Amino acid sequence: MAGDTSGMKHACGVFGCVSAGQWPTDLDVANVICLGLVGVQHRGQESAGIVTSPGDDKGKVHSHKGMGLVNQVFRDEATMSKLKGNLGIGHTRYSTAGGSDITNCQPFTVETLHGLISVAHNGELVNANPLKEKVLRHGTGLSTGTDSELITQLLCLPPPEIETDGPNWLARIKQLMSYAHTSYSLLVMHGDCIYAIRDPYGNRPLCLGKLLQVDKEEGHSVEPEGWVVSSESCSFTAIGAKYHREVIPGEIVKITQSGIKSMCVIPRPDSHPSAFCIFEYVYFARPDSIFEGQSVYAVRYRSGRQLAKEAAVKADIVSTVPESATPAALGFAKESGLPYVEVLCKNRYVGRTFIQPSTRLRQLGVAKKFGPLTDNFQGKRIVIVDDSIVRGNTMGPIVRLLKNAGAKEVHIRIGSPPLRHPCYMGINIPTKEELIANKMSLDKLAKHLGADSVVYLSVEGLVEAVQSGVEKLTEQNTGHCTACLTGKYPVELHW
């Protein structure tokens, strides 16, 4: 990811798999899920967990969760061998609601009158407090501070229209969605199936894939070996799965060994447009993921072209802070007619938790992470394209690094509008007071960063770059949440 997004945490990642054909299966479901979680590791790096089930009526599940990256939590064969089953779900987490602690690791599994259910969740409930009170008044205790546990307990509340001795999980999910309109992409595992659920506003992504079985003699795909569901389609390639489609906003999809079945679509209140998070395109998602029928890479490239139209500048070269803003920088270079040249070499072995034991080492943080490719830019005017600025802690040192290495001018161009408002739907963006766009004008920001100029992409320009590639865009069925940019939230916030 690019450099100047300090303080902004990603959403979580979910992944599920159901084996096709006869059970017990030869498909190693746990390893498929593990590889799938690695594919969405960028969405959460605090903890990871997998729950698998044989899918029979005995109600037994196997679970393993831990703090750290997926490959750290599932690092040996002994751990993986215990996760037997014909279906399962997994989760990789960044904390928004609830702290960074082992008790908050997902998936959550609880025992109900109708057997065990396991839940993995990406998002954040905007009305969590009144829902928490509803659960507590029902006599149910909560052991964590996460929305995911709250969702799990809400699913256990019987809807009034069904008998309490009948499971009817579809009715329970519908009831949950009537209580909470956003924000969640959910996987709910019970018995022999996984329910894949996306909130009516479609704020967080969720997509379906077909796990293909390869004919060893012919070398081509034959009957599906299983079905997978993921926060992002980028996780499908590594497991040999083919992208099928997105779960549409408000849809409840049931996945079993026989395939994928859409159960229903819950409408939004007052036919409100959907509100997919526009920052998934800007920063959070991997560029090889597909949303709304278009690749994230293509959107970032168009954003860069639009930025060049809105914020042209006399310069010699265009470059970027490696690496999520690279498509935008390439688009800017194409539109402006300037050459794209790399000016920074990234040290990939310096992580976010690198020990900084002294003031001097903290001041050299950027120098530890990036090395200037001096011969490429000495004496030249550089346009540096980045995807966003949050607190502004990283871009200033990068500008100084480039100028100290011989850059004549450094002009900053940002492939998204200024971040001015917190997100309450699953992204941990700093408070309004911490966001640098709220503290100073563009001229003052440029002076603060040591740059010759700073210009952001307009909100209208970003929306155009996104929506110009969306399939079947209509006023009522496709929209985008720009709350962190405009302060216009798609739903009422509850405190």
Q: Quickly count: other Cβ atoms within 10 Å of residue 304's Cβ.
A: 30
Say if residue 183 carries a ligand binding annotation: no
- The secondary element (H helix, E strand) that includes residue 404 is helix 395-404
Beta bridge partners of 52: 62, 88
Burial class (CB in 10 A: 0-12, 13-18, 19+), 21: middle
431-456 as b/e: b if 16+ CB within 10 A: eeeebbbeeeeeeebbeebbbbbbbb
Active site residue 105: no
One-letter identity of residue 449: L
Say if residue 387 carries a ligand binding annotation: yes
Say if residue 76 carries a ligand binding annotation: no
What is the signed CA dihedral for 292, 294, 299, 305, rounded to 10 degrees?
A: -130
Cα distances from 245 to residues 29, 178, 233, in angstroms, run 21, 25, 9
Say if residue 423 carries a ligand binding annotation: yes
Cα distances from 66 to residues 87, 105, 400, in angstroms, run 20, 7, 40
Structure tokens at 417: 């509008």
Beta bridge partners of 344: 372
Burial class (CB in 10 A: 0-12, 13-18, 19+), 359: exposed
Phi, psi of 334 (to 5 degrees): -60, -50
Cis, bond preceding 323 (omega within 30 deg of 0):
yes
Residue 423 near residue 429, CB atoms below 8 Å? yes
Say if residue 345 carries a ligand binding annotation: no
Alpha helix stretches (DSSP H) within 237-295: 279
Q: Give the residue ranges of the annotated binding site.
A: 277, 324, 386-387, 423, 481, 484
Q: Give the residue ranges of the annotated binding site for Mg(2+).
A: 324, 386-387
Q: Give the residue ranges of the annotated binding site for [4Fe-4S] cluster.
A: 277, 423, 481, 484
Q: Which residues carry out catalysis?
A: 12
